[in-house]
C-alpha cells in the first residue's frame, strides 16, 4: 500500500528544506530516495530539461547507475523520457521495453526493470524536466500511481525550476574561477508576480547613509554655477514631465506627487544656498551634496512624521541633481534598470518609484503592509517580501534577478541565468493566449453562470478590467487617494476620482467601498492614529462612524458621481446590525444635504455589508434581511476568524483559507444570503485561488471579485468545472474537519480538472 498523501506532504517538507538551505544536489537526491521508497519503486530518477540545447540530463537517481548523473543526456526525440516531455503527457508502460520509443542506455543497469512510469514536470508554460519510476515487476504501476506521481511533479515544479537555475548558475561560476562576488539566493514571498532584472538600489534602513558616499565623477569635477543652473533646469523639466505623465496615468493617486521635489527646487534655503556656496568657491557637486545632507539631517530627525516622510524625496532629488550635473543623458526614469531594496516604503514612495520605471521591489517583511502589496499589484511592479536579513548586506549596484513568481532574489547571476530569466519573463508575457481566448461571460462546463467582477484599487485598473471583460466592479477600494495624499482629499477631489470610475466602466454593478483605513493602512496626516492593536482598533467603518464629517464628505462625492446610473455602496468591517443601520442613516443624511445644496439626487444606491468579522457572520441572516447585498472580505474574514494577523510573516503559515472553520463559515453566510434572497459576492484573495474557487462555486457562490489580471485564468478554470461534481465535492469538504484532509482533497480535485 502506497501512502500518496503522506508522500506529497513529505515532498512539501523537502521543498521547504530546499528553500532554507539551497543545497541542490542534496535536495534532488532526497527527493528520489523519498519518492522511490514511498512508491515502493526500484528506480526513481529526475531528468532536468536544458531548453537551450533542448536536451534532458539525468540529475539524480535512486536505482540506476549513479555514475551517469550529469552525464546521461538525451534529446526530447529520444526514449520514453523524451516522449513524456515532448508530448507533455505521462507515459505508463507495463514493460517499457515493449514500447518502440524505448531507448536502452548501456551501463545504466535498467535492463532488469520492466514497469515504467514517467511524468513531465511543468511550471506554467515552462518545461522543467521529467520524473521517472521503474520496477522489475511487469505491470507494477497503475493509474493511481500515475495520478500520485503527477501530483508530486506539480508539487516539485516550482522548487525544481529554482534548483535548475541555481545549478546553471553554480556550474557557470565554477567554470569561471572568478574572483567576483558569489552568487547567492535570498528567499521570500512573491507578493506581486513578475520578473525583474537589474541593479540593486538599496534604500538604507536609516534612510540617511545612502546619499553619502556618492563619488564625484570626472565629468563633474569642474562644474560651477553655469553647470549647476543647467542641471537645475533639466531636473525641473524632468520632474514636470513625470508629473504630467502621472496626471494622465494615475490621476487618483499620482497628481502632485512630485510637488515636494519641485517646491524644494524653488526654495531659496535649498537652491539659493547651493548657489551661494558655489559663488564662495565650492564645487557644484560639493555644494549640492552639502545641502542635501544638511536637509536630510533635519528631516530625518524631525518629530514631525510628514517631514520624515520627505527623506526619500530629498534623496531622489539629490541624486537627480547630481546625475544631471554629471551630464548623464538619461531619460527621466531614475529607477529604470534598478531593483529597489528597502526595509519599508511609504505608499507615496512606491508610486514615485514606480513612476520612475523601477524594475522591481524587494522589501523586508517586517515593513510589509497590505496596502503596499495592493498598490504594487495595481501598479504592476514585481514585489518580493523577505525576512532574510542578508538583504541588508546587499550593496547598491549589485546585479539582481528578482523572481516574484517563485519568491527568489538571485544576486550576482551569471550571463546564462540572466538570459534564461529574460526568456522566462517573455514567456510569462505570452500567457496572453489565455486572454485572447476569453469569452464575454463565464459559465461552468454545464452552463451555470458565474460573474467575475473586478477589484479596483487605482483608476488605472479600470482599463485592464474592461479589456479582460470584467462584468462590473465588485470592489473599489477607495482608500488609495487618501493614503497617497498629505491631507484628506476634499469632496470635490473625491468626486472627480469616482466620476472617472463611472466613466470608465459601463456596467450596472459598480460597487464603491467607503474608506477602509486603520489596521495597517495608516494616514500619517491623521493625528493620534497610532494604536497598540491597529487591526482591532479604529478601522474602516468604525473610523467613519467616529468621523462623520469625513464619512458624509465621501458619501456625497460617491452619490454625486453615481447619479443617473445604478450603483452600490458597501461598508467594510461591519460588526452589527446597528453599524449597518447607522451607516445607512449617514447615506440618507448625505442625500438630504445634497438636495439641500441644489443637487439632483434621485438615484439611491444599493447598500451592502462586508462580512469580515466573526460577529457579522453570526448576524449574517439579520444583515442579509436589511442589506441590499453582502460581500465577504475574505482576507479579513480569515484573519479575524483564525486570529492570525494577515500581515505577519511569522504566522503566515497559519493564515489558511482552507481551514475547515473558514469553509464552514462561508457556507453559513451563503445559506443565510440565499434564505434572505440577498445577493452574495466574495472578494479578497480567496476569490482567485482556483482551489477555493472550486469550493465556492460548488457551495453556491456565483459572484467573485478579483484583480482584473486574474480574470482570464479564473474564467478558463471555471469553464472546466462540472457543477454537479463541484456541489458534491463542496458538500464533502464541509464534512471534513482537518486542514490536511481538505488540502489534499482540493488539490486532487483541482488537478483532475
Closest CB 349 distance from ligand PEP, rounded Å: 20
Task: Rule CB under 5 A: say whether 96 interacts with Mg ion.
Answer: no
Task: Rule CB under 6 A: say whether 633 interacts with ligand PEP.
Answer: yes
Task: Rule CB under 6 A: say whether 324 interacts with ligand PEP.
Answer: no
Of 194, 198, 382, 684, the residue at the interface with ligand PEP (CB under 6 A) is 684
- For ligand PEP, the binding residues in 458-487 under the rule CB under 6 A are 475, 477
Q: Which residues contact 442 (CB under 8 A, 6 or more apart)?
A: 449, 450, 451, 452, 471, 714, 715, 718, 719
Binding mask 196-235 for Mg ion (x = CB under 5 A): ----------------------------------------
461/612 with CB nearer ligand PEP:
612
Which listed option, ligand PEP, Mg ion, none, makes contact with residue 347 (CB within 5 to 8 Å by class)?
A: none
316/612 with CB nearer ligand PEP:
612
Q: In what order do the strands lie in the sheet with 408-411?
A: 184-187, 408-411, 399-403, 195-203, 338-342, 360-364, 383-386, 189-192
- For Mg ion, the binding residues in 604-633 under the rule CB under 5 A are 633
DSSP 8-state assignment for residue 518: B
168/684 with CB nearer ligand PEP:
684
Which listed option, Mg ion, ligand PEP, none, makes contact with residue 729 (CB within 5 to 8 Å by class)?
A: none
DSSP 8-state assignment for residue 510: E
SS3 681: strand
Place of cell 523601477: 358
Q: How many residues form the binding site for ligand PEP (CB under 6 A)?
A: 10
Crossing angle of helices 548-562 and 577-596, in 10° steps, is 60
Task: Rule CB under 6 A: say whether 378 interacts with ligand PEP.
Answer: no
Rg (CA), the chain: 29
Antiparallel, parallel or unpaired: β 73-75 and 473-477: unpaired
201/571 with CB nearer ligand PEP:
571
DSSP-assigned states of every residue in 211-232: GTT-PPPGGGTT--HHHHHHHH
CA dist., res. 627 & res. 608, Å (int): 5
Of 334, 612, 689, 691, the residue at the interface with ligand PEP (CB under 6 A) is 612
Task: Rule CB under 6 A: say whether 683 interacts with ligand PEP.
Answer: yes
Which listed option, Mg ion, ligand PEP, none, makes contact with residue 634 (CB within 5 to 8 Å by class)?
A: ligand PEP
CA dist., res. 207 & res. 315, Å (int): 9
- Considering Cα of 252, then 255, then 258, then 260, what sign does the dihedral take? negative
Closest CB 698 distance from ligand PEP, rounded Å: 20
Task: Rule CB under 5 A: say whether 636 interacts with Mg ion.
Answer: yes
Please choose, from the candidates 534, 538, 604, the residue with its C-alpha nearest in 3D space to the C-alpha of residue 567.
Answer: 604
The CA distances from residue 457 to 4, 152, 230, 557, 707, in Å, are: 42, 37, 39, 17, 9
Binding window for ligand PEP (CB under 6 A); candidates: 44-52, 395-403, 422-430, 628-636: 628-636
Binding mask 506-545 for ligand PEP (x = CB under 6 A): ----------x-----------------------------
Neighbours of 303 (CB within 10 A): 6
326/475 with CB nearer Mg ion:
475
- For Mg ion, the binding residues in 458-477 under the rule CB under 5 A are none
Crossing angle of helices 723-735 and 739-752, in 10° steps, is 170
Binding window for ligand PEP (CB under 6 A); candidates: 277-285, 315-323, 631-639, 725-733: 631-639
CA dist., res. 415 & res. 32, Å (int): 30
Closest CB 455 distance from ligand PEP, rounded Å: 7
User: Which residues here bind ligand PEP, judged by CB under 6 A?
Assistant: 475, 477, 516, 612, 633-636, 683-684
User: Which residues here bind Mg ion, judged by CB under 5 A?
Assistant: 633, 636
Amino acid at each position: 500500500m502506497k501512502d500518496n498523501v503522506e508522500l506529497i506532504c513529505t515532498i512539501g517538507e523537502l521543498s521547504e528544506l530546499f528553500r532554507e538551505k539551497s543545497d541542490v544536489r542534496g535536495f534532488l537526491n532526497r527527493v528520489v530516495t523519498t519518492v522511490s521508497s514511498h512508491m515502493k519503486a526500484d528506480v526513481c530518477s529526475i531528468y532536468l530539461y536544458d531548453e537551450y540545447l533542448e536536451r534532458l540530463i539525468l540529475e539524480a537517481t535512486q536505482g540506476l547507475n549513479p555514475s551517469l548523473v550529469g552525464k546521461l543526456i538525451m534529446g526530447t526525440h529520444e526514449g520514453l523520457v523524451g516522449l513524456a516531455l515532448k508530448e507533455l503527457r505521462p507515459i505508463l508502460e507495463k514493460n517499457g521495453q515493449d514500447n518502440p520509443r524505448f531507448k536502452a542506455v548501456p551501463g545504466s543497469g535498467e535492463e532488469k526493470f520492466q514497469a515504467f512510469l514517467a511524468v513531465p514536470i511543468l511550471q506554467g508554460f515552462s518545461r522543467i524536466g521529467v520524473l521517472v519510476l521503474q520496477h522489475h515487476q511487469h505491470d507494477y504501476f497503475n493509474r493511481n500511481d500515475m495520478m500520485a506521481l503527477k501530483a508530486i511533479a506539480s508539487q516539485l515544479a516550482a522548487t525544481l525550476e529554482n534548483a535548475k537555475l541555481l545549478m546553471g548558475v553554480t556550474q557557470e561560476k565554477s567554470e569561471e574561477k572568478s574572483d567576483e562576488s558569489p552568487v547567492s539566493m535570498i528567499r521570500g514571498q512573491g507578493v506581486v508576480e513578475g520578473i525583474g532584472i537589474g541593479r540593486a538600489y538599496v534604500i538604507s534602513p536609516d534612510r540617511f547613509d545612502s546619499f553619502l558616499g556618492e563619488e564625484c565623477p570626472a565629468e563633474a569635477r569642474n562644474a560651477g554655477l553655469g553647470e549647476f543652473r543647467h542641471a537645475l533646469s533639466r531636473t525641473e523639466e524632468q520632474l514636470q514631465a513625470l508629473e504630467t505623465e502621472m496626471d494622465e496615468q494615475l490621476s487618483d493617486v499620482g497628481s502632485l506627487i512630485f510637488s515636494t521635489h519641485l517646491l524644494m527646487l524653488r526654495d531659496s534655503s535649498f537652491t539659493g544656498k547651493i548657489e551661494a556656496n558655489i559663488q564662495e568657491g565650492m564645487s557644484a557637486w560639493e555644494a549640492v551634496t552639502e545641502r542635501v545632507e544638511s536637509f536630510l539631517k533635519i528631516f530625518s530627525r524631525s518629530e514631525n512624521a510628514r517631514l520624515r516622510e520627505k527623506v526619500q524625496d530629498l534623496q531622489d532629488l539629490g541624486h537627480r541633481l547630481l546625475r544631471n550635473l554629471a551630464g548623464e543623458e538619461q531619460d527621466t526614469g531614475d529607477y529604470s534598470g534598478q531593483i529597489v531594496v528597502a526595509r519599508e516604503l511609504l505608499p507615496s514612495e512606491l508610486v514615485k518609484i514606480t513612476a520612475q520605471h523601477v524594475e522591481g521591489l524587494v522589501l523586508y517583511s517586517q515593513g510589509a503592509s497590505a496596502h503596499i502589496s495592493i498598490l504594487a499589484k495595481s501598479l504592476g511592479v514585481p514585489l518580493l517580501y523577505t525576512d532574510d536579513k542578508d538583504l541588508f548586506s546587499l550593496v547598491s549596484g549589485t546585479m539582481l534577478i528578482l523572481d516574484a513568481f517563485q519568491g527568489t532574489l538571485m544576486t550576482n547571476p551569471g550571463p546564462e541565468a540572466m538570459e534564461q530569466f529574460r526568456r522566462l519573463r517573455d514567456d510569462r508575457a505570452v500567457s496572453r493566449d489565455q486572454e485572447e481566448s476569453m469569452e464575454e461571460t463565464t459559465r461552468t462546463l454545464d452552463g451555470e453562470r458565474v460573474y467575475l467582477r473586478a477589484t479596483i484599487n487605482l483608476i488605472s485598473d479600470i482599463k485592464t478590467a474592461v479589456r479582460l471583460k470584467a462584468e462590473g466592479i465588485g470592489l473599489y477600494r477607495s482608500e488609495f487617494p487618501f493614503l497617497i495624499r498629505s491631507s484628506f482629499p476634499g469632496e470635490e477631489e473625491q468626486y472627480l476620482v469616482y466620476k472617472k470610475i463611472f466613466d470608465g466602466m459601463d456596467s450596472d454593478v459598480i460597487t464603491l467601498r467607503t474608506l477602509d483605513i486603520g489596521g495597517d493602512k495608516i494616514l500619517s496626516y491623521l493625528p493620534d492614529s497610532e494604536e497598540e492593536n491597529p487591526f482591532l482598533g479604529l478601522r474602516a467603518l468604525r473610523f467613519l462612524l467616529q468621523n462623520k464629517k469625513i464619512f458624509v464628505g465621501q458619501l456625497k462625492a460617491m452619490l454625486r458621481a453615481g447619479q443617473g446610473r445604478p450603483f452600490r455602496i458597501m461598508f467594510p468591517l461591519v460588526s452589527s446590525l446597528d453599524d449597518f443601520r447607522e451607516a445607512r442613516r449617514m447615506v440618507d443624511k448625505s442625500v438630504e444635504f445634497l438636495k439641500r445644496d441644489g443637487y439632483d439626487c434621485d438615484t439611491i444606491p444599493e447598500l451592502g455589508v462586508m462580512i469580515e468579522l466573526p460577529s457579522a457572520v453570526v448576524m449574517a441572516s439579520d444583515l442579509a434581511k436589511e442589506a441590499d447585498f453582502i460581500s465577504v472580505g475574505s482576507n479579513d474574514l480569515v484573519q479575524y476568524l483564525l486570529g492570525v494577523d494577515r500581515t505577519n510573516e511569522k504566522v503566515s503559515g497559519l493564515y489558511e483559507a482552507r481551514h475547515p472553520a473558514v469553509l464552514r463559515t462561508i457556507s453559513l453566510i451563503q445559506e443565510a444570503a440565499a434564505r434572505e434572497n440577498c445577493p452574495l459576492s466574495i472578494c479578497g484573495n480567496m476569490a482567485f485561488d482556483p482551489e477555493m474557487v472550486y469550493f465556492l462555486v460548488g457551495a453556491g457562490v456565483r459572484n467573485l471579485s478579483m484583480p482584473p489580471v486574474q480574470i482570464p485564468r479564473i474564467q478558463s478554470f471555471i469553464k472546466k468545472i462540472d457543477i454537479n461534481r463541484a456541489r458534491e465535492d463542496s458538500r464533502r469538504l464541509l464534512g471534513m474537519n482537518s486542514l490536511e484532509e481538505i488540502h489534499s482533497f482540493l488539490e486532487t480535485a483541482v488537478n483532475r480538472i
